[in-house]
A and B are shown apart, each in its own frame.
Chain A
Amino acid sequence: MKYPAGPAPVLPDRFAGRPVISPTCTGGACAGCGDLCPSGALQPQMIEGKASLRIDTGKCLFCRACENACPNAAVKFSGEYRLAAASREDLLVGSGSEAFAPALVERARKVFGRSLKLRQVSAGGCNACEADCNVLGTPAWDMGRFGISFVASPRHADALLITGPVTANMRLALLKTYQALAEPRIVIAVGACAISGGAYAGHDEVCGGASEVVPVDLFIPGCPPHPLTILDGLLRLIGRGDLA
């Protein structure tokens, strides 16, 4: 795989990547699309006196229910795979504040830029996010070429990569794993579940995302995120490759 020096792998034409909201959006006045959204990702807003919508990609399940319902074709899911961001506000697409994740601050980059060891904790998701993280270790993706790999012990890890909404039953194990990492440590939330609780937000059985338990440094949206989206996020974090 030539990426990131060469072109990224071609994604299927029906892939749902970063949403785009066009100015034809009336803010939900026409189709009541807000009620269709399973996760509360579609949010009304006012920009310069005009009603429109924004999509919180940290909550979005990329199900296209809004796109399919819109009579004005105001919501479209593009093939753009780059979605990772460093703060929750940066995930609000259509709000004007969205931004891609910047590289870590210089000092941290010096520490992690050439070698980033990840301890993965699965905490109540559906295991699809885990599957797409695992894929990055296979020969085709081979994230080892960037010095990134999954390790068996939190003692060997620089970063915690969390998937799932953090169930009540996993809360303690997650906290203990976090505490076992040496400082400085990074926390990465992968998938709608880990960012916001996803499809299970509001359930009493879950905490509603990793940030409810530990501070998160990088958010990688999707349900699940495509492996390319995850890799892009990780590379952004360590400032590797020629990422636009």
Chain B
Amino acid sequence: MNANPLLRIRNGECFDASGVPLVSIDDLRETILTQVESGARIASFFGTDLGRDGGKTAATPPERVRLICVLAFDNRSELGVIAADAERAYPSLTPDCPQAHWFEREIFEQWGVEPIGHPWLKPIRFSPARSCSVAESVSVVPAPAPDCFHMQGEEVHEVAVGPVHAGVIEPGHFRFQCLGETVYHLEISLGYQHRGIERALVARPGPRTRHYIETLAGDTTVGHMLAYCRAMESLTSTHVPPRAQAIRGIAAELERLANHVGDLGALAGDVGFLPTQNYCGRLRGDLLNLTAAICGNRFGRGLIRPGGVAWDLDHERADAMLALLEAVEKDVRSAVELMFEAPSVLARFEGTGAVSAETAEQIGLVGPAARACGLERDVRFNHAYGIYRFATLPVATWHSGDCFARAYVRWQEIQRSFEFVRDQLRALPAGAPANEPGAAATGKMVVTLVEGWRGEICHAMATDAQGRIAAYKVVDPSFHNWFGLAMALRDQQISDFPLCNKSFNLSYCGHDL
């Protein structure tokens, strides 16, 4: 085996699809295992039919699936890409590398390639396999009914929740194995929001592409659009003007602010601390309205476009936003400080739902959930892109890994994002808000990482011989983190589930795609 078969690239760098080292499945395993052992992370690991399209890559028999793995080397700001053609099965990575857990289940479900020896092999979203006609298989796919892990014993009981929950939230099924009030295991079964976006992205772009990306997770419209647009810009060699970079940064940090502030309010609500809950509910709305001041839509729909931004910010508008922002910042500070000063709140947050740094590392957590375990993991810093190459934001971490840490990391990030948005609004670079992208290069690939408010967003795209999308893989941060919630619940009181759940606040639609 070649000592170093990885193709080394940077976040958002365009490369030849044929330049990805195609190794044997054994070498792929070996490489992933050794690299993860020495500190790399699996950013993405997915199946494609790239080997079959007769493009620049070697022809692959139809029963083979090309597996592509993207590894992230955070302290070197590098990504490594490697591929292998798999037949029906291969020895699973998960027993030696828990990070691969969800990815291998997805590959099995989508492509029918079985990771032999996987300890937990079942569907993650009950989607029809890519290999058969969707219309045929939809009618035979049963509604998600988890064939879940059961605990046995006289006093043991099982609690089932969902898919329809008590609040206005997305559907998912949770199964708790309890002894008394204590949760021994929580199994999370998703897929209810599966609407087939990844499949529909192939062979385009077309008029719907933008809407697919903007609605991968409606609360992360800006984050996902940035990942998509950066990929398109890389494939079309389009330069994004500095003014657009600044406006994108403002939109991304406003998205983070709105969601973090909303989350702190919701966390306060879950421990019955009403003043902060009510204040933050309103303040979240004020922050969404700031995004709407730029583009008319509270979630930033229609703002980011390939080549730049679709709406410009003139001086007057920026000044009006600044005034609003400063007022909101003041109110957020008093609402949040009130909460962190309340002993009744701290008593509920501290020590609840703790995840150790070791577990976080092993299962590959990302975003605030990882930083709350002390891991310095932030794409804006580790793999800086766009405006963050010029305006760096320090990484916010805390060490305790519990609900307190997940709240406190958000609060640190809120303060830094306010400062960032203020600075950008005060000194918007002059120039055009967008450049016009040309045609996409053929037979290329690109991987873009973006730090969404929940954590790392990874989009991988390959083009075919006509420059259309030949493969598209989305990894929402929730994909990495749902298992973290299950781990956080171990040995906790079942009554702490809402609090733990809110402290992660993961996306169902972003996971289900």
Residues of A within 8 A of B (CB): 11-16, 35-39, 61-65, 120-135, 137-140, 150, 152-154, 164-165, 167-173, 177, 199-200, 203-206, 223-224, 226
Contacts and interface: CB of A to CB of B under 8 A. Distances in A.
Interface of B: 125-128, 134-135, 138, 141, 143-144, 163-164, 166-171, 191-197, 200, 206-208, 210-212, 214-219, 221, 278, 281-282, 285, 289, 292-299, 301-302, 311, 507-509
A61 B169 contact: no
A164 B292 contact: no
B219 A127 contact: yes
B299 A224 contact: yes
A63 B302 contact: yes
Contacts, number: 162
Contacts of B192: 123-124, 167, 169-170, 173
A170 B169 CA distance: 14
Given A126-B217, A139-B278, A173-B143, A63 B211 contact: yes
A127 B196 contact: no
A56 to B, nearest CB: 15
A16 B193 contact: no
A203 B298 CA distance: 27
Given A172-B143, A203-B195, A204-B128, 4 more contacts: A37-B207, A128-B221, A169-B143, A204-B138
Contact of B211 (A38, A140, A150): A38
B196 A133 contact: no
Given A130-B168, A139-B281, A125 B215 contact: yes
B194 A125 contact: no
A11 B298 CA distance: 11
14 contacts: A36-B207, A39-B208, A65-B207, A124-B509, A125-B215, A126-B214, A126-B217, A128-B221, A167-B192, A168-B138, A168-B141, A170-B193, A204-B128, A206-B196
Contact of A169 (B144, B197, B219, B507): B144
Contacts of A200: 195-197, 200
Contacts of A153: 166
Contacts of B289: 12
A231 to B, nearest CB: 13
A9 B105 CA distance: 48
A223 B301 contact: yes
B212 A150 contact: no
B218 A173 contact: no
A206 B128 CA distance: 12
Nearest to B162: A173
B200 A224 contact: no
B204 to A, nearest CB: 11
B193 A167 contact: yes
